[in-house]
Structure formats: C-alpha cells, structure tokens
Structure 1
Amino acid sequence: MNFFRRILAFTFIIIFIVVTLTSPSPKAITTETNKISRTPIRAGVLLYFFEDSYLLLLKKNLEDIQKENPDKIEFTFFDGKANPAIQYEIINNMINDNFDLLLLNIFEAKENTLQEIINKAKQKSLPLIIFISTIPNIDIVKTYSKLAFIPADTKEPAILEGKIIADAWNENKKAIDKNGDNILQYIMLKGKTDSVLSNSRTKYSVESINTLGIQTEELATVSCNWSRQIAKESTRSLFIRFGNKIEAIIANNDILALGAIDALQGLGYNKGNKLKTIPVVGIDALPEAQELIKKGYMLGSVFHDPSTMADAIYNIGLNLVSGKSITSGTDYKIDPSGVIVNINFKEYTIKTLSEISQ
C-alpha cells in the first residue's frame, strides 16, 4: 500500500514539473500580445533641457501624477541639455534599457533622425510619444501604429499673442499709439534665427495683428537664443535707441518677455504707472509672468497648461501600452492623420483670468 502511495506521489511531482516547464512565461505572453503586463509601467522621459522653465513645470506635473498613481506609472527623466547629439545618444540607450514606454521631447528633430528613432522603436514594438516637437514630415509619424504625436503648435499661440496686442490697441489705442500715426511700432524678441518654432511665432503674431485691421511697423527684431539675460540686454539697448517710439514688445516666449520686463523696470517703466508702461506679450504663461500680468506690469501671455499636457502624456501613454486607441477614454481630439493630438491654448490676460481658473 505504501509502495502505491509513493508511486502516486512521484507521478504528481513529475506532472507538476512538466506543466511548469512547458507553460509560457509572463514575458512570452507579453511578447505575443504586444501588451505590457507588469506594473508599474516604466516610462523613460527625455526632456529637451532641464533648465527650460516650462519643461520644469511639466516635469513636476508628471512627478505629481506618479505620486498619485505609484502602482501604474514610474517615470525616469533624462536631460537632453539642449544638445541634439546628447539627446540621440540618450534615446538609443533608452530604447535598449527595457522601458515599456518612451516619451520624447526632441523639439526640432531632422527628418532622417526622427525616422531612425521611430524605426528603432518599431523594431522593439515600443510605444512612443513625441511631444512639444515640430513635425518635419507628417508621413513619418504615420508609419508606426504605436506612436502618438503632441506637436509644438507653431501657429495658434502666435495668433493668440497677436490678438492680445490687437485687443489692447482697440480698447486703449490712445495710450498705446504714442505718436498718433495709427501704426503700431514694435520690437520683436526671437528665440533663435534658425528655429522653425521661433520663425513661425514671429511671423504669425504680426500677421494676426494685421489681420485684425492694425497696421504695424517693425522697429527691430533681435535673436535672443531663448535667453532671459540676452532679452534684457537687447531690450535695454533698443530702448536707448528708440525710446518712446516703442509701442509694444512681442516675445517668442515668456522667458524673453520676462527679460524685456526686467529691462523696462530697470529704466523706470512697467511698474504700475500706465503712462510709463509698454505692452509686453509672451507665450507659455509661466507663473512669474502670470504674477506680472495680474499686477498690470505685463499685458498678457498664451496659456499652455503644463498640467493639461502632463495628463495628456500620461493618459495617451497608458492607452498605447495597453493596446487601446490613442484617445480611448479621453476628450482629446485627434487630427485626420490618426496620430496627432493637439492641446488647446488660451489667452492669459487680466480679462481672461476667470475663464482659465474654471
């Protein structure tokens, strides 16, 4: 009897070992279904430059999302140091580092480089989001089904920036049009001369003012390399040159606008006296710019909410990893390409504060 019990026990052990060895591992299941089964999802995040004020706000919002969802997502951040060569090296390492999701902010990638990145991600069936970046060729981003693109809109924020100036002109033309010639004399603070984003914002902000029926005259355009200090020094030099001829300052982003405010306040302007205030506009609505707008020291900015952007990156990322459609369970709008998601911009002025806070 004991002999038969031993035979039966031995048989069960053999069966258990065979089933264990021949059953597919969780890793194999993941490979076959192309879905990530482990949690939290490991997401590698490349940011163009850690010293960029807007990207720092975005990073903080992503970190807050991780704190609220520790069982769902784990972000690892990489600093691209505003250097394309460094960025592409980091991306290659990220692709080989067993991340479940890649989130890339590569700003203005060349067409062949972007195609190479997409091809490498595609080879590993690695979900990919490229965000706040320009698109060299729409066809490239349509070649991979696990890719979503949240572009750096080069047109809409510039149009809104121009509208802020035009609205102020129409409401208080007498105060702005100092020489009474019915023409808005302005200076333009550009990011970079060879930047697609900078050139587009420069073009469409002025076109927007003209489209709204206001004539403009460019007194000067200065490339500031996205530097607050350079913007400050340039504005000071231009003020010494043009003085009260300057009726508005249009900046490609808030960093440059803040540099302009620094210079003007050093010269006794934009401190609350409406008779000594030059309208300054920017893009991003950074917290410091928001405070200046509330005080009346800065005319306005274009709000690109980092919290909304972080939520979009997180939700779309989860969808891609789980094999769902890009906008599944969200209110985001996708364009006809099927991969591009646009995040709306809003005017940030004293008049629109109540709308934005809702």
Structure 2
Amino acid sequence: MNRFCMNLIKAFSVSLGIYSTSSYAISNINVYYYNGNDNFINLYTKFLGKLSERSPINFKFHDAQNHPKEQVESIITGLYSGSPAIVNLVDVNDADKILETAKDSGSKVVFFNRLPSDSALSSYDDSWYVGANSEQSGFYIAEVIDDYFKSVGHFDKNMNGQLDMVILQGEKFHHDTFNRTLMTVTNLKEKGYPLNVVSKNYDNWDRFNAKRDLLKQFELIGIKNIEIVVANNDAMALGALDALKSRGYNIDVKDKDHFIPVFGVDGLPEMLKEVDLGNATGTLIADYSALAKVCYEIATSEAQTDEEVTQLVWYKTEKHKTLIPYIKYASFKNYMKQKYVLPNYQNYSSL
C-alpha cells in the first residue's frame, strides 16, 4: 500500500477517533545490515531481535555479507512492498538509489551506524539516521588518553621526546574512520602531546587484520618503540591485545615494563572485561540497546519532524539525525557514578 492510500485511511480513522497519530499500523519491517559477522552489528541485531519478539510487527533480517549489489536489490524489493526499512549500508553511496525507490513507494527508511551523505538523507522527507557521534568519539578517546597519562605521570617510555602511536583504522572511506582518527590526533596535539604516528593502516574493523598489522609493526619498528595503540573499534583493539599477549605483553598489570596502553571504541563485552582486568586501558561504550530501540521507535512511528522524533526517542534529533552519546570506560578511572551494566536484551520488556 502506498503512502497516499495509507494517509487517506489514517485521516478517515482519525476523524472517527479510532486512530492515534503517534504510530501507524504496519505488519512488517525489513532490517538490512552490511555483515552479521561484525561484533557490534551482531549485538545490535540480537537486541533488535528481542524487541521484535515482544512486538506484533514481523521483523525480517537480511545479512548482505558485504555484498553491496545484492543488498541494494534486496532493499529495493522490500521497499516496493511498502514496509519500513532499517538499513545498515554496505556502501553509503547506494543511499541515493535506495531513497529514490523509497520516494516512489512511500516507505520509511531508517539508516543506522553508516551515515549517508547529507544530500542523500535530505532528498527524502521520511529518511532518518541513527548512530553514534563519531567526532565525539575521537574527542572522548583523546580525553581518556590524556587522563591516563596524567594518572601514570609520563608518556615517553623510550625517551625519544615523542608519544609513539599506532592507529588501527577501520574502512578507508568510512566516516567513523576519518572522524575518530582525525579528532583523536587533533585533540591530543591540542593538549600538547608531541605525537609520532608510526603507522595508521586500514584494518577494516577486523580483529585478525589488526593483530597481523600490529605484529608487522613489532618487526618493522620494534615493540619498545610503540607507546600506545589506538583502534577505531573494539574488535581491532582486541586484535592488538592478541598481538601483545603473544609477545608476553599486557598479561600482568603489575609488569609495567611489558605493557602498552590499548584503547578502542564500541563497548564490546569482551573489551569491557579486558579493561576491567587491566589488560586494555579504555574504550567508549556505544549503547547498542539504545541504538536498536531508537531505530525501532522511529521505524514504527508516524513522526515527521525533528522535534517529534526528539520527543519520541528522548535523544536530540537534528536534520533527521539522532546521535546516541558515548560513555567513557577505563581501567584507571571511574567515569560513571555506578558500574556500567551490559544491556540484557533477554529481560528487555519496555517497547
């Protein structure tokens, strides 16, 4: 059913007092994600799946497995059914053709975690984006790093007058990769750190790639010439820990001579455990439960303006973008008034 027909039905129902404008009757939502093997996407999908179990709406999940062409074809087919779509793009450049189809079918599209261009998002009045603030993440990680070095009292272990840093980056053209790296480096320099970025390879969010990358840096420059590892996500930070542990580093928190601080982003359960043990130094928690809940709320709502969405989800929405704030988490400092508890999607009851 197209949007015009739906609006006629809703207008008639409202006139009879039997329809609420806060939501509209839909039976299916299609959820598309770039790769179900991604740790963060896997957590998000599990939580959204639990929400769907408590909802009268039928959710259909589609894993593109990193194939952009197949994903676009699947999304276009789903949009012509009239169902809303929650979309994590393989290639953000495909947003334009997807939204052209959405205009024709009148279907709502909620992008998440991979931000389309502003021109694409603004081309259709019922397209939305939900994600974390990648610029904020770079700024926050720089703050956590600064707090850490202040707590230990020094940063230049090899006494070369510089902070020798390895950066493990995500995908080459991903906005999170660019913003996290840029804002981390920029803010550390503004805080007075003489940075020497010894490598910043693209490891595509992957744990094994990051481990292999760091092992190569050990051979090229020597493990003693690396003073900090900053990863664009937790999966790569865990890969860095794998590499370090294979060389006898970051195993005993009391052994300061065999320790290199490692920082990530996402708040994966395994990374939080490593931070609690002191093997990793810090991360930022991107609340996948909030991300899933906000996507669900927008996809099932008739909200049409930023103000209406803000009131609906309780997060500020501007230019059809809702950004979920990060939470700092570290081994050396408690940034929260109480210990962070991982979202338990099995017991999540509020829709």
TM-score by length of structure 2 reads 0.84
Asked if 1:329 is matched to 2:331, the reply is no
CA deviation after TM superposition for structure 1 residue 207, in Å = 1.2
Aligned match of 2:329: 348
The amino acid that maps onto 2:40 is Y
Unaligned runs of 5+ in 1: 1-24
Aligned match of 2:282: 300
The amino acid that maps onto 1:70 is S
Asked if 1:74 is matched to 2:55, the reply is no
Contact 2:68 2:90 in 1 (8 A): no
The amino acid that maps onto 2:8 is E
Contact 2:71 2:90 in 1 (8 A): no
Asked if 1:212 is matched to 2:191, the reply is yes
CA deviation after TM superposition for structure 1 residue 99, in Å = 4.8
User: Among 20, 30, 44, which residue is 1:58 paired with?
Assistant: 44
Asked if 1:88 is matched to 2:88, the reply is no
The amino acid that maps onto 1:357 is Y
Q: Root-mean-square deviation (CA), in Å?
A: 2.6
Structure 1 window deviating more from structure 2 (295-304 vs 340-349): it is 340-349
The amino acid that maps onto 2:168 is L
CA–CA distance in structure 1, aligned partners of residues 213 and 102 of structure 2: 43
User: Among 154, 175, 185, which residue is 2:134 paired with?
Assistant: 154
CA deviation after TM superposition for structure 1 residue 116, in Å = 2.1
CA–CA distance in structure 1, aligned partners of residues 235 and 194 of structure 2: 27
CA deviation after TM superposition for structure 1 residue 355, in Å = 4.5
Count of aligned residue pairs for this structure pair: 323
Structure 1 window deviating more from structure 2 (268-277 vs 177-186): it is 177-186
Aligned match of 1:10: none
CA–CA distance in structure 2, aligned partners of residues 32 and 115 of structure 1: 28
CA–CA distance in structure 2, aligned partners of residues 275 and 309 of structure 1: 40
Contact 2:132 2:326 in 1 (8 A): no
CA deviation after TM superposition for structure 1 residue 277, in Å = 1.0
Contact 1:157 1:201 in 2 (8 A): yes
Aligned match of 2:15: none
CA–CA distance in structure 2, aligned partners of residues 62 and 47 of structure 1: 12
Matches within 5 A, 1:153-302: 153-174=133-154, 176-240=155-219, 241-272=221-252, 273-302=255-284
CA deviation after TM superposition for structure 1 residue 28, in Å = 9.4
CA deviation after TM superposition for structure 1 residue 291, in Å = 0.4
User: Among 109, 114, 126, which residue is 1:133 paired with?
Assistant: 114
Structure having greater relative contact order (Cα 8 Å, sep ≥ 6): 2
CA deviation after TM superposition for structure 1 residue 202, in Å = 1.8
Partner-residue secondary structure (3-state), 1:222: coil
User: Among 14, 23, 30, which residue is 2:6 paired with?
Assistant: 30
CA–CA distance in structure 1, aligned partners of residues 339 and 85 of structure 2: 31
Contact 1:46 1:87 in 2 (8 A): yes
Change (3 A) 1:107 1:152: farther
Partner-residue secondary structure (3-state), 1:164: helix
CA deviation after TM superposition for structure 1 residue 276, in Å = 1.3
CA–CA distance in structure 2, aligned partners of residues 356 and 141 of structure 1: 37
CA–CA distance in structure 2, aligned partners of residues 114 and 243 of structure 1: 42
Partner-residue secondary structure (3-state), 2:308: coil
CA–CA distance in structure 1, aligned partners of residues 107 and 121 of structure 2: 14
CA deviation profile, 1:271-304 (whole Å, cap 9, x unmatched): 1233311000111111110100000000111110
Contact 1:319 1:325 in 2 (8 A): no
CA–CA distance in structure 2, aligned partners of residues 58 and 154 of structure 1: 17
Sequence identity (%)? 24
CA deviation after TM superposition for structure 1 residue 250, in Å = 0.9
CA deviation after TM superposition for structure 1 residue 326, in Å = 2.4
Contact 1:100 1:321 in 2 (8 A): no
Contact 1:135 1:151 in 2 (8 A): no
TM-score by length of structure 1 reads 0.82
Change (3 A) 1:107 1:320: farther
CA deviation after TM superposition for structure 1 residue 180, in Å = 3.5
Structure 1 window deviating more from structure 2 (348-357 vs 177-186): it is 348-357
User: Among 92, 95, 109, which residue is 1:114 paired with?
Assistant: 95
